[in-house]
Structure 1
Amino acid sequence: MALWTMILRKMANNKWLQLNLWFGLTVCVALFSSMPLYSDAILQRTLIKELQQTQSESSVYPGFIRVSTTNSSSTMDNKTMEAIERADQFAKSIPGRMGLESLSFYQQRFTQLMKVYGADASELEKKQQKTVGAIKSLSGMEKRVRLIEGRMPVDRSDGIFEALVTQGFLFKAKRDLGEELVAETTDDKRDKFRVIPVGIVETDPKADPYLPYLTSEVSDGFLIPFAQFEREFTKGGKTRVAEMEWRYALNYEQMKFGSVDQYIKADKDIRRYYKGRVGVAEFDIPSSSTVNSFQGKQDKLDVMLLSLYCPVMLMLAFYLYMAANLIIERQKTDISVLRSRGASRLQIMTAYTMESLLLGLGALAVGPFLGVQFTKWLGAANGFLEFVNRSALPVSFTSSAYNVAVIAVCGAIVLILIPAFLATRVSIVGQKQQMARLTKMSFWHKTGLDLVLVSLAVYLLHNFNNRQEDLKRLALDSAALQVDPLLFLMPALFALGGGLLVLRVYPWFIRLVFWAGRRWWSPALYHTLIQISRSSGQYLTIKVFLIMTVATGLFSANAARTINDNMESKIEYAVGGDIALSTRWENDAPLPSSYSQGQSSQTDAAVTTEAKRVQYTEPPFEPYQKLEGVETAAKVFKKEKARYSTGNTSGSTTLFGIDTMAFGKTAWMKSGLLDYHINGYLNLIAPDPKAVLISRSLAEAAKVKPGDPIRVSWDGLDQAQFTVYGIIDYWPSWNPLPSGTDKEDEKAEQPKLIVGHLATIQNRLAVEPYEVWLKLKEGVSNQLIYDQLTEKKLPVTGFRDAKKELIESKNDPFRMAINGVMTLGFVISMLISFFGFLLFWVLTLSGRTLQYGVLRAMGIPFIQIIGMLISEQLLTSGAAVVIGVIIGNLISEMFVPLFEMSFSTQDQVPPFDIVRQLSDYVQLYSIVGIMLTIGLLILGYRLSRIRIAQALKLGEE
């Protein structure tokens, strides 16, 4: 009890220090717990969104499951009936196996196909009748079909089957409702069944929005009551049941990311069970590929999150260590007195461990809730220090999040107990000796940790550069953004190592400054220089703290901006405008030959098509220009396999036909890709209808320069002559890089391009379909354009929406992690840096009250005391910020280019570019400046409140 009393009193006496330590522990818990929370939440949302996208693209409900199997048995014996019954039982277990609620279910049965003819048909009619159909059944038939004529069938016991049929099948059978038909099997038994169609049905989509019964899928046959089919065929064995089918609509919105493995296992179990058990099985599970793509994503995302969190984790570690060290520094005298009075090191450490446990439990009580908030902030990040009103992430506490939080607290407690453990080794005499002068070399510099970290980072950088060259040389491209976690860990290591390395020599620099001007320095500056040079170890932690904050902040800003800008530029360049449309053109092309006509027919048709040029009728362009919200529209003709010739050189090229004015107003082009602005090139060719621009690859291959003639044609057309006016390297939507297959051939030709006037191409060559590019007005929703296209029934056959693709790109979980964690990490770093800065200097100031009292007594004015404080801040905190800026720019130059490996070089057009934005620097410098200014004002205020007379009474000098 006495121990607890001592602990509580000690904590009360240092309540502000304990509060800062608790704050650091709470942020640590929140940060660590947010990792699994964010990983689960973002993957959960992405999973549901991708399933919904599957529905919008393929018009199939994401929870749809269809299992169909034939019956390989030729007879309906007991073994076959038992196999069908077991298959039914397994089908009923599908929702439970997948862990999803069944919103709708039905099953179907089909007999073998039978010849169908009228009961009163003559022998001649029977021979001529070609109609075939099966007797089939549908569970819940009464609720799923819509009668358009007649009535529902009843289960009769007189051997006659009443059935529903489609209008088309009844027409093929050449009979009316109520007229008896005969269904005769085509096997050796020649079984005959009497069937009377009593109703005509069609699909009723309103009956079941999740799983409608489509009569058009199997329209030939007789639909009888399910119970009757089971009694007469499945269990009665009157004829062979040829096929069985089970369909489910499962509630995919219930799917949790954590149950992905369960879903995949159930999918495999279903396929394994039905494959060959009854017959040949077919499966239609449209969400299977989407769900399978998420397997293993969490591990990759967790690794990336861990690497992204590394810099801020280092910051938190420094903060906790610094706060704990400051607390212990104030209590070293108490510890040494306890040791001198017989207290063991174990007893002292027990007391500090209990104190830390109390703080840790307090952090665990609040930290996870703060972690939930962190996770929501991560989900709202749209870029570095950019937030949008995105729908909230589905965040919920998990056991893994709390386990991670407990591990983080335990690790933090061990970290903050290190200063206490080291303090228990010092006696009261040693303590007084250490207080006399703080020039002792730090542990970091003694062990050479700075050199080790810098060397390690440089070694990894060298390996990454070699890897990048290999990727470029071998064209080993990835299909999606794949960021190596080391790309975030290496800069943090280099920033820490570089900061420690600079601070190793910084005290010598201060001594050099002091020595150079010792005759001219004012008393205040003289004192400050001596104080910093003799007590360099005292300032080491806060300086490393600020260096890490500024350096990693700059790197985070440049890395996030570079990744975002390159991904967005790639999409906008590929589309060319805000929206690119392909439209349907009327033409006189012959219908394609069917496969049944044979290879010779296809060859003849191809020759005929080639001999006779297809004539196209250009659709109206004006409706696209008049769409509400459209600022400008442009016609963009592309011919991929055009031919060029110049002198003795000819080859294949891509031909662009444009209207220069409309194209210049509509197309998107990144600045810096061309020698001059794109409008300059458009203005160059605008006056001459025969003027063209050519790609540099064509100019080098054909030895063509501006002013030379060039002839263009395609598909046997007469060549048209143009004049080269300019040479370009890039053009909106044109990829100047060889394809992946071409890259394997060292002699592969580079893609070539010719850009000319559309009107001239149409007049002198041919009129063929072109794309329509749209530029939207500021703030116009793309949905407005979609609705108008649908409402006006404009014949759109192809569609690319740059804005939609940008949104999908920003919703990628890995990109969201980069933007969210970098932003959150930077904000947290700034926050704890501010608290750490204040904590350090307030305690330093209060510890030097006596010193300031002596200086005042010696006659130094208060304004000079303030000057001493400012100069000390500039030479410590200010210098750390400057060093951080230098190191931040250095690691940006060294490591940001490595992110090029994360992009597919084959498709990375425009080329990868390092992006720095002035606003990021302004934000960073503003935050740091505000932090230092507020800190100085608070310190100045506290300094003005010091009672000098009382300070002198407390002293011993």
Structure 2
Amino acid sequence: MALLSMIVRKMTQNKWLELSLLIGLVITVGLVSSIPTYTEAILSRMLVKELEASKLSSYPGTMNMRFTYIGVNNAEQRIKQMKTNEQFMQNKVLPLIPVDLLERTSDLTTSAFDLSSELPPPPNEKKKVYRTSLATVKDLEQHIKLVDGRMPADKPVDGVYEVLVTEKGLNNLHTVLDSVFVFEDVNKTKVRVKPVGIMTKKDDDDLFFLSPDLGGFTNSLVMNSDVLDREFIQTQRLLVNSNSWHIVPKYEDLELRNIDRYLQAAEVLKAQVKSNYHYTLEAQYVEVIERYFKSSENLRVLMWSLNVPVLAMLGLYVFMVSNLITNRQKNEIAVLRSRGAARWQIMLSYLVEYTLLGAVAVAAGPPLGLFLTKVLGSSNGFMSFVKRSGIRVHLNSEVYVYAAAAAVIALIVMLVPVIFATKTTIVGHKQQMARMQQTPFWHKLFLDVIALAVSLYGLRVFHERMKTLQTLGLDNEALHIDPLQFAVPALFILGGGMLLLRVYPYFLRLIYWIGRRWWPPSMYATLIQVGRSSAGYQFLMVFLMMTIATGMFSASAARTINHNSEDRIRYASGADVVLQANWPNDKPPEMPGGGPQQQAAVTLTKPVIHYSEPPFEPYTKLAGVESTAKVLIHDNASYSTEEGSGSAKLIGIDSDEFGQTAWFRDGLLDYSFYDYLNLMAAAPNAVLISKTLADEEQLKAGDTIWVGWEGIDMQPFMVYAVVDYFPTFNPNPRDAETPAPKLIVGSRLQIQTYLSLEPYQVWLKLKPGASVNDLYRDIEDKNLGIVDITDMKSKLSTAKSDPFLMAVNGTLTLGFIISLVISFAGFLLYWTLILRGRMLQNGIMRAMGLSLRQLIGMLTVEQLLTSGAAIVIGLVTGLTTSRLFVPLFQNAFDAKKLVPPFRVMVDPIDSIRIYIFVGSTILIGLAILGYMLSRLKIHQAIKLGED
């Protein structure tokens, strides 16, 4: 109890430092706990998106189970098995489904029997016999409506059982309602039935039914479930042929934390199917979820990796504050050691102190992480938030496990300065105070060189990996995403910053030497103070450098990923809107069916199709259109050269209109994109070819290439230039076995004149701020015959809500904000403590005649030489790190889709934000320090020194 009382008093005496340390701990624990929370929320959203995007034949998440009683001839055994199946679904399957069910359908079908009309057939005609069965579905009445007739009675009427039929089923029976039919049951007893109503679905999109058009009831007579069970099943007059269950869960509520139970339900059903061939199972969603798990692992690794620099920065902050606390108490520690206190006793006191702070952080951190996750769920880009439905987040045991682990690691980090401090005796402590000019331990151990070497090695490994991916056409799942490939930027930032700080003392000496004849006394005093105490400033400088560089790296990474994702969509689309009009033609109608011989004959005599070009002017006058272009695209054109022949993608353009309409990123080609278009405009027979085609056929500018396609004679064109990229053209191979795609770009008029007139696409460029909806309405109002339309803006909007981009933007935005906040807190804390520690020195300078203005000037220069230098180093290191390591994020994308190539982006807005923040931080710091100096009483400072 005495130890706890002493710890509380000590914490009270250093309340501001303890509060700063607690804030750092809470933010650290909150960030760590937000990672699994945010990851789970994003992955849950990703799961729902995957299910929605999957082209399944049924509603996403639907499972259908059917049992067919084949080989079970005994009626009692069938009834017993039916009850067993019902219990199996009720007790083992349905309890495993973790979400509400939109529908749960159970149906039953009897064995087929021969049905015939009760009335005798007309003369000279045979009696018609129809093969059908009785069927029933629980709660069917709530989901159907009658087209004609009435609902069946719940008991026989005059010995006749009433049933429902579909309109198609009634037509198959060649009868009308209220016609009586007969069939024989198992006991050869005649049973009379009559259709009394024609049913159809009440709602077209009702999930109650398996088939959209009630096709499952076409060959069945639908009877009331109670009547069928009471009159035919339990009395064993008819055998049960099959019964099935149709389960439709509310897939939007599926989350990562409950998906295992949903998969377990499918596994239980699969095991039942394997154990008995009478069972069949349809659960297409299982394959979707399995694919989802593969991509979710990559996203999980990426989420943790993105936070490595921020976590390292927070660890550095915690270490810095705990080091400040320890340094202020080194004299007390040395006194305790000199009076016989053991090291473990001193360590125990700090362990208890920091454990108390850690416990508070574990309690407050997860709710903070939950709040951060909710805020980040509305991210629409880097440092951009919109009003959208929030993501679902939860606090669970896993979150608190991560929070506790973060607190334990932080506790170890905080105890490191204490370990070193307890080694020092009171004599050693006084010696250290007298020798302020010490070499930092990271310079002695060359940790900066080691960190740089490891990070550069990781960069080399990355480049080799990306070369393999792009050469072989592999995807990002072919090679495992190594978390170290995302952790090495933090090592590079730390190593690069410490390396620059290694030469920092020489920079101070250079400044001193340059102005030694002109510096005023205050400047001399500042240079001497900074030069002799450089070791004391270097930790602050490392911290500031790390935070600024991390913020710069986070901003650059987010901007790069967002811009490159948008560039890929723009490049693949080609223009804002791409239309394909319906061209009148003389194409013969396709013949239904036909065997191989018939198809071969058709192929041999395939005629040339003649097209009529529709008017083009209406497209130029559509709402919001700035420019239009005709673009002819033939995906499988043929070419021939002196070296060989093959197939390539042929694009025909009008160079002037195409240049005004198409989107193309600068810097992809050796010269301006418009220079290549001007080359084509000068000669009608000029073509541009892709580098893949030029390399394979050894072509160069000036060579002749013959171009055509099936049924069209080849015509000569002249190669004017070789290009690596062109709008919509992807030069990357699809896989290792497929050759790289090839491209030929020529004049559309030349191609249509000398080859053939074929339908072209209409590319539209919209005016700034133009609405795509207005364009669609105008197309509809003008009744333009459009067979296909793609919209770039819709694709961009969809991409922004993509779970992957949301995760990246949210995480990097959080890292950027935390970097700025922590650097501000660390800056003010450090300088406030330094100023308090030098009250005697400042009081003496004031007593010697220095004015308050001169003293503030000295502090300003001191800040510029320390904090300012650290900030400049941080900006340089962050920019260098971004240029070198932001391309690491290519590993998170499919190499085949990295067109145009990855380009590092540094948005000036982010740099301006950092500059404004840094300037504001220094100004606020100077204002606080100036206020503290203005309240300094000279006699109190000198008396404090005497005490």
TM over 0.5: yes
TM-score (norm 1): 0.89
1:27–1:918 distance in 2 versus 1, CA, 3 Å: same
Q: 2:724 aligns with which of 696, 708, 729?
A: 729
Q: Cα offset for 1:513?
A: 5.1
Task: Please tell me whether the aligned partners of residues 68 and 279 of structure 2 are also in contact (alpha carbons under 8 angstroms).
Answer: yes
Give the aligned partner of residue 471 of structure 1. Answer: 469
Q: Cα offset for 1:546?
A: 1.4
Give the aligned partner of residue 89 of structure 2. Answer: 91
Q: Cα offset for 1:836?
A: 0.8
Give the aligned partner of residue 747 of structure 2. Answer: 756
Counterpart AA for 1:533? G
Counterpart AA for 1:24? G
Q: Cα offset for 1:571?
A: 1.6
Task: Please tell me whether the aligned partners of residues 554 and 812 of structure 2 are also in contact (alpha carbons under 8 angstroms).
Answer: yes
Query: Does 2:653 match 1:663?
Result: no
5 Å matches for 1:207-222?
208=206, 211=209, 214-222=213-221
5 Å matches for 1:384-403?
384-403=382-401
Task: Please tell me whether the aligned partners of residues 639 and 705 of structure 2 are also in contact (alpha carbons under 8 angstroms).
Answer: yes
Task: Please tell me whether the aligned partners of residues 264 and 292 of structure 1 are also in contact (alpha carbons under 8 angstroms).
Answer: no
TM-score (norm 2): 0.90
**Matched position secondary structure for 2:242:** strand
Task: Please tell me whether the aligned partners of residues 552 and 816 of structure 2 are also in contact (alpha carbons under 8 angstroms).
Answer: no
Query: Does 2:597 match 1:606?
Result: no
1:710–1:764 distance in 2 versus 1, CA, 3 Å: same
1:342–1:914 distance in 2 versus 1, CA, 3 Å: closer
Distance in 2, Cα, partners of 1:830 & 1:411: 23
Give the aligned partner of residue 106 of structure 2. Answer: 107
* Stretch of structure 1 that moved more, 20-29 or 126-135: 126-135
* Stretch of structure 1 that moved more, 824-833 or 723-732: 723-732
Counterpart AA for 1:16? W
Task: Please tell me whether the aligned partners of residues 67 and 246 of structure 1 are also in contact (alpha carbons under 8 angstroms).
Answer: yes
1:754-792 deviations in Å (ceiling 9; x for gaps)? 3322x5544544343333434344445555656777788
Query: Does 2:805 match 1:815?
Result: yes
Distance in 1, Cα, partners of 2:809 & 2:205: 46
Give the aligned partner of residue 23 of structure 1. Answer: 23
Query: Does 2:248 match 1:253?
Result: no
Distance in 2, Cα, partners of 1:508 & 1:560: 36
Task: Please tell me whether the aligned partners of residues 577 and 792 of structure 2 are also in contact (alpha carbons under 8 angstroms).
Answer: yes
Distance in 2, Cα, partners of 1:396 & 1:846: 44
Give the aligned partner of residue 529 of structure 1. Answer: 527
1:893-912 deviations in Å (ceiling 9; x for gaps)? 43234444443333322123
1:136–1:601 distance in 2 versus 1, CA, 3 Å: farther
**Matched position secondary structure for 1:294:** helix
Q: Cα offset for 1:259?
A: 0.7
Distance in 2, Cα, partners of 1:220 & 1:790: 42
* Stretch of structure 1 that moved more, 725-734 or 117-126: 117-126
**Matched position secondary structure for 2:895:** coil
Counterpart AA for 1:603? A
1:333-358 deviations in Å (ceiling 9; x for gaps)? 33333444555545544443443344
1:605–1:296 distance in 2 versus 1, CA, 3 Å: closer
Task: Please tell me whether the aligned partners of residues 674 and 730 of structure 1 are also in contact (alpha carbons under 8 angstroms).
Answer: yes
1:777–1:296 distance in 2 versus 1, CA, 3 Å: same
* Stretch of structure 1 that moved more, 568-577 or 727-736: 727-736
1:916–1:724 distance in 2 versus 1, CA, 3 Å: same
Distance in 1, Cα, partners of 2:883 & 2:560: 12
Distance in 2, Cα, partners of 1:223 & 1:882: 81
Distance in 2, Cα, partners of 1:332 & 1:921: 40
**Matched position secondary structure for 1:149:** strand
Distance in 2, Cα, partners of 1:45 & 1:870: 50
Q: CA RMSD in A?
A: 3.6
Distance in 2, Cα, partners of 1:246 & 1:26: 51
Q: Cα offset for 1:544?
A: 0.7
1:552-577 deviations in Å (ceiling 9; x for gaps)? 23333333333322222112111112
Distance in 2, Cα, partners of 1:74 & 1:582: 58
Task: Please tell me whether the aligned partners of residues 581 and 785 of structure 2 are also in contact (alpha carbons under 8 angstroms).
Answer: yes
Give the aligned partner of residue 925 of structure 2. Answer: 935
Q: 1:462 aligns with which of 460, 463, 471?
A: 460
Distance in 2, Cα, partners of 1:294 & 1:701: 38
Task: Please tell me whether the aligned partners of residues 203 and 212 of structure 1 are also in contact (alpha carbons under 8 angstroms).
Answer: no
Give the aligned partner of residue 278 of structure 2. Answer: 279
Distance in 2, Cα, partners of 1:250 & 1:207: 15
Give the aligned partner of residue 161 of structure 1. Answer: 161
1:705–1:438 distance in 2 versus 1, CA, 3 Å: closer
Distance in 1, Cα, partners of 2:712 & 2:901: 36
Distance in 2, Cα, partners of 1:718 & 1:191: 76
1:163–1:478 distance in 2 versus 1, CA, 3 Å: same
Q: 1:652 aligns with which of 641, 647, 650?
A: 647
1:662-683 deviations in Å (ceiling 9; x for gaps)? 4334321112223444445445
Give the aligned partner of residue 381 of structure 2. Answer: 383
**Matched position secondary structure for 1:162:** strand
1:234–1:799 distance in 2 versus 1, CA, 3 Å: farther
Counterpart AA for 2:244? E
Task: Please tell me whether the aligned partners of residues 568 and 806 of structure 1 are also in contact (alpha carbons under 8 angstroms).
Answer: yes
Distance in 1, Cα, partners of 2:145 & 2:151: 10
Task: Please tell me whether the aligned partners of residues 105 and 211 of structure 1 are also in contact (alpha carbons under 8 angstroms).
Answer: no
Give the aligned partner of residue 638 of structure 1. Answer: 633
Task: Please tell me whether the aligned partners of residues 107 and 135 of structure 2 are also in contact (alpha carbons under 8 angstroms).
Answer: yes
Distance in 2, Cα, partners of 1:234 & 1:798: 54
1:707–1:835 distance in 2 versus 1, CA, 3 Å: same
Distance in 2, Cα, partners of 1:433 & 1:703: 76
Distance in 2, Cα, partners of 1:52 & 1:489: 34
Distance in 2, Cα, partners of 1:719 & 1:344: 94
Of all paired residues, the percent bearing the same amino acid is 42
Q: Cα offset for 1:920?
A: 3.1
Task: Please tell me whether the aligned partners of residues 204 and 212 of structure 1 are also in contact (alpha carbons under 8 angstroms).
Answer: no
* Stretch of structure 1 that moved more, 220-229 or 361-370: 361-370
Task: Please tell me whether the aligned partners of residues 548 and 823 of structure 2 are also in contact (alpha carbons under 8 angstroms).
Answer: no
5 Å matches for 1:63-78?
63-73=61-71, 75-78=73-76
Give the aligned partner of residue 567 of structure 2. Answer: 569
Give the aligned partner of residue 881 of structure 1. Answer: 871
1:515–1:623 distance in 2 versus 1, CA, 3 Å: closer
Give the aligned partner of residue 845 of structure 1. Answer: 835
Distance in 1, Cα, partners of 2:297 & 2:476: 18
Q: What 5-or-longer segments of structure 2 have no aligned partner?
A: none
Task: Please tell me whether the aligned partners of residues 69 and 282 of structure 1 are also in contact (alpha carbons under 8 angstroms).
Answer: no
1:98-120 deviations in Å (ceiling 9; x for gaps)? 12222322222334455554333
Give the aligned partner of residue 908 of structure 1. Answer: 898
Give the aligned partner of residue 803 of structure 1. Answer: 793
1:775–1:70 distance in 2 versus 1, CA, 3 Å: farther
Distance in 2, Cα, partners of 1:226 & 1:30: 57
**Matched position secondary structure for 1:295:** helix
Give the aligned partner of residue 269 of structure 1. Answer: 268
Give the aligned partner of residue 711 of structure 2. Answer: 716
1:728–1:869 distance in 2 versus 1, CA, 3 Å: same
5 Å matches for 1:823-834?
823-834=813-824
Task: Please tell me whether the aligned partners of residues 105 and 247 of structure 1 are also in contact (alpha carbons under 8 angstroms).
Answer: yes
Counterpart AA for 1:652? S
* Stretch of structure 1 that moved more, 431-440 or 834-843: 431-440
* Stretch of structure 1 that moved more, 334-343 or 911-920: 334-343
Distance in 2, Cα, partners of 1:931 & 1:628: 50
**Matched position secondary structure for 1:850:** helix
Task: Please tell me whether the aligned partners of residues 95 and 102 of structure 1 are also in contact (alpha carbons under 8 angstroms).
Answer: no
Q: Cα offset for 1:710?
A: 5.6
1:138-166 deviations in Å (ceiling 9; x for gaps)? 22232222211122223328764322222
Distance in 2, Cα, partners of 1:58 & 1:796: 27
Distance in 1, Cα, partners of 2:122 & 2:517: 130
* Number of residue pairs aligned between Structure 1 and Structure 2: 944
Q: What 5-or-longer segments of structure 1 have no aligned partner?
A: none
Q: Cα offset for 1:831?
A: 1.1
Q: 1:82 aligns with which of 77, 80, 92?
A: 80
Counterpart AA for 1:33? S
1:629–1:874 distance in 2 versus 1, CA, 3 Å: same
1:850-907 deviations in Å (ceiling 9; x for gaps)? 1123333344454443333223222222222232233333333432344444433333
Give the aligned partner of residue 554 of structure 2. Answer: 556
